[in-house]
Amino acid sequence: MDTSIWRPIIYLICFMAFAGLNAAYLGWCERKGAGRIQRRTGPMEVGFHGLLQPLADGLKLMSKQLLVPEGVDHILFRIAPILAMIPALTSMVVIPFSDNIQGRALELSVLLLFALASIGMIAILIGGWASGNKYAVISAARAVSQNLAYEIPMLITVITIVMITGSMNLQDIAMDQQGGFWHWNIFRFDKSIFMPVSFIIFFICSVAETNRAPFDMAEAESELIAGFMTEYSSMGFGLFMMGEYLNIVVGACLTTILFLGGWSCPFGLFPGVWWFLIKIYILIFTFIWIRWTYPRTQVYKLLNLSWKILIPFSLVNLLVTAAFIKVF
């Protein structure tokens, strides 16, 4: 591997640009998608089909005053939005977009990703707590219990994958699934008959982890106004939003790598970064699609879903996989 200083810098710039573009344009995609689902056009005014809308939104957010209400914890209140953004951005470093596009090929990249995802939850907790707003505190408490509940089945599912591949390196996991969709972890019936179920569990968990509808308990605008974001204005709010979209991208990337074969083509032809992008954007569209078609669940039912259904199922799947690996 080339050890010149330029390689990390170029990667840094590219990933930052990728992340920034995604954070900005997923907002536009979301609005266009919502418009499509709701039989309206979405943003049309700024630029061609509203393509400059994210730019205008960004300008607006940046030119607004960052209000710090009385009675908030000043330091934590300012740290929280940054803390929401940085882990999501950092996660990008270890994601292999293709066999040769990866910021840093860590041996334990899966572990790092999950560690970073937990920091995102702490950002919500700090933000809600520091706001000194009752709605925000309720939202913070919800977010923590929800994230705890959904990290467990998610991790158990990942352990299954790690057992199959025998590595915690995302690059290895992806390489293991090259060549045709029947090699993808989602369809690997020779390792466990429950792999599709496992994929669904993982996907549900990633929706819940990113606080997206129908699991957006933390912001539940009809119950908690905007939850932990209630007191934030300007870029404080903007960073939370960007953090959320980046988390979606990371979640989609992770799902793609763990279950959908990363950058491999479904028919074993021309593997490359384009397949990876196609897959993550299909997943992201699914995120948007779900958000705009389902009503919100209720917080205790959400926890029940995790503790009573998802965790037992993922445990069973873990056992079955272990048995399959041992037997075959």
Partner 1 sequence: MTVPIQCRPDEVFVLNLGPQHPATHGVLRVKLTMDGEYIVKAEPVLGYIHRMHEKMAEAGSFAQFMPNTARMDYLHALAYNHGYVLAVERAAGIEVPERAEYIRVITVELNRLSSHLLWWAAFLLDLGGFTPLLYAFDDRERILDLLERITGSRLTYCYFRFGGVYNDIDDEFIAGTRDFIKRLRSRLPRMYHDLVTHNIILIKRLKDIGFITPEQCRRYGATGPVARGSGINYDVRKNEPYSVYPEFDFDVPVYTECDSMARYMVRMDEIEQSLRIIEQALDKLPDGPVKAKKVPKILKPPAGDYYAAVEAARGAFGCRLVCDGGKSAYRLKLRSPTFCNLSLFGEVAEGMLLADALAFMGSLDLVIPEIDR
For the bound state, the minimum distance from the C-beta of residue 219 to partner 1, rounded and expressed in Å, comes to 10
| HSE of 269, CA atoms in CB hemisphere, 13 A | 1
The stretch near partner 1 (CB under 8 A) out of 32-40, 59-67, 78-86, 180-188 is 32-40
For partner 1, the closer CB: 47 or 214: 214
The site for partner 1, by CB under 8 A, has a size of 28
Considering the rule CB under 8 A, would residue 134 count as an interface residue with partner 1? yes
Considering the rule CB under 8 A, would residue 37 count as an interface residue with partner 1? yes
CB distance 99 to 263 below 8 Å: yes
Q: Is 233 left (phi over 0), alpha (psi -120 to 50) or beta?
A: beta
Considering the rule CB under 8 A, would residue 138 count as an interface residue with partner 1? yes
| Alpha-carbon span 67 to 270, nearest angstrom | 51
Among 39, 63, 267, 326, binds partner 1 (CB under 8 A): 39
Identify which of 280, 206, 216, 284 has the alpha carbon closest to the alpha carbon of residue 33: 284
User: What pairs with residue 177 in β-bridges?
Assistant: none
Write the binding mask 287 to 316 for partner 1: x where contact by CB under 8 A, - elsewhere: -----xxxxxxxxxx---------------
For partner 1, the closer CB: 33 or 87: 33
Among 13, 21, 38, 41, binds partner 1 (CB under 8 A): 38
Among 13, 62, 107, 221, binds partner 1 (CB under 8 A): 221
Q: Which residues of 131-162 are buried (b: 16+ CB within 10 A; e: fewer)?
A: bebebbbbbbbbbbbbbebbbbbbbbbbbbbb
Two structure tokens written together for 145? 């219990």
Taking the CA atoms of 29, 34, 36 and 37 in sequence, report the sign of the dihedral they define. Answer: positive
Considering the rule CB under 8 A, would residue 40 count as an interface residue with partner 1? yes
Q: Which residues bind partner 1 (CB under 8 A)?
A: 34, 37-40, 134-135, 138, 141-142, 213-214, 216, 220-223, 225, 292-301
